[in-house]
Amino acid sequence: MPNQFLTVKEVARQALPRLLENLVFPNLVYKDFSDTFQKKGDEIQIRKPAKLTANEFDASTGVKAQDIDDSRTVTVKLDKIATVDVEISALEGALNIDNLNRQFIEPAAVALAQKINSDGLELYKDIPYVCGTPGTTPSALTDLAAVRKVLNANKVPTTGRRAVWDTEADASFTTIPAIVNAEKSGSTQALREGSIGRLFGLDNYMSQAVKRHEAGTLSAAVKPKAETAAGASTLTLSAASLTGTLKKGDILTIAGKTYVVTADATAASNEITVGIYPALQDSITATTAVTVAASHTANLAFAPMAFAFVTRPLVVPSGVECYTTSYNGVSLRVTKGYDMKYKKEMLSMDVLYAYKTIYPELAVRAMG
């Protein structure tokens, strides 16, 4: 006989705080949330955070008001549902809510958080601004300084900067003497908690979900096929006996500036045409050198407005027990129902969400 205490309201209210505790990336970026119920595949418009400019006051002309353009929106497709589903019979041993927490709620919240974090860190593929060396783990204060240098060059606001590092980089940073030794760093946090905290104007975090970018497989060094004017967003590259691919997220260095490949492309007839971001900043010729960055770990540093985490409550299915709860920009649905096809009573916990890169210039990819 199923446990009578198993109400979806209790499960949802217990699960959401645990989900929020385990989220990393969504808590570091701009969140867009509404209580409007949605379904997977819906396209919605979210308003981009405003970017304003500080001007010098001129007493003779007075102030000049800046518009906050409400039309600055971006389309986001709610295309992801993270879900954990179990048979009610698997929870028969849960005699109270504490047992249920251990058997289902806590593991389910961790699993949901891992998937949501992992999907968000895929946004590195949109970022053309880079530092570091592919294949070399960031491990020194100079690596943090390099991140800061790129952010400063792009005029990223100094407040609220964050960085998410993979496990290897995090381990290396936490053993730097200047960070570990209290008499040098002023804190024993790295030694006692294994956390390097805030350094070089960055709030530093670790995530096991940081991605490794596998570069394309071009068979030869390439150059532009022909002269290309500044402002171009596509580029044709060529080489003798060229085969292979360029992958979305590949980094091209052209005339000393870096660009990101915006979609997968495959070479044909000794040439390959790719979309790039940003648009070509300088005119180039057929002799301009082009290099492709090797495979690397894609650590990320950014200001919150670089990326958006978008979530909406899922619709309530008909004919089942369902409860949706929301807090701090995250909405969680718990549903208890009956699978008629397999004649099983099921408990489901899910989140509808999407990510979007809003301002790529506010982020940097720290290659490792």
Number of domains the chain contains: 3
In sequence order, what are the residues at sequence separation of 6 or more whose Cβ sits closer than 8 angstroms to the Cβ of residue 274? 234, 235, 237, 246, 252, 261, 262, 263, 265
In a domain, residue 198? The reply is yes
Phi, psi at 245, each rounded to 5°: -135, 160
In a domain, residue 324? The reply is yes
In a domain, residue 159? The reply is yes
| Nearest residue to 258 (alpha-carbon basis) of 284, 230, 277 | 277
Distance of alpha carbon 211 from alpha carbon 87, whole angstroms: 32
Same domain, 261 and 228: yes
CATH code, domain carrying 185: 3.30.2320
Same domain, 44 and 95: yes
In a domain, residue 64? The reply is no
Three-class SS state of 172? helix
**68 φ/ψ sector (left φ>0, alpha ψ -120 to 50, else beta):** beta
Same domain, 188 and 119: no
Same domain, 208 and 278: no
Distance of alpha carbon 129 from alpha carbon 303, whole angstroms: 13
Task: Give the largest CA-CA distance in the chain.
Answer: 82
In a domain, residue 141? The reply is yes
Same domain, 146 and 203: yes
Residue 179 tokens read as 């960070």
Same domain, 94 and 104: yes
| Nearest residue to 274 (alpha-carbon basis) of 251, 246, 249 | 246
pLDDT at residue 148, as a whole number: 95
Tens-digit pLDDT profile for residues 301-340 = 999 999 999 999 988 888 888 999 988 888 999 998 887 7
| Residue numbers in the chain where pLDDT is lower than 50 | 1-3, 182-186, 188-194
In a domain, residue 357? The reply is no
pLDDT at residue 253, as a whole number: 96
Same domain, 111 and 191: no
Residue 313 has what DSSP assignment?
P
- Tell me which of 248, 272, 305 is where a domain ends: 305
Residue range of the domain that includes 267? 215-294
In a domain, residue 67? The reply is no
| Length of the chain in terms of residues written | 368
Same domain, 204 and 275: no
Same domain, 268 and 322: no
pLDDT at residue 108, as a whole number: 92
Same domain, 288 and 264: yes
CATH code, domain carrying 265: 2.40.30.290
pLDDT at residue 68, as a whole number: 60
In a domain, residue 264? The reply is yes
Same domain, 203 and 240: no
Phi, psi at 100, each rounded to 5°: -65, -35
Same domain, 118 and 142: no
Residue 167 has what DSSP assignment?
H
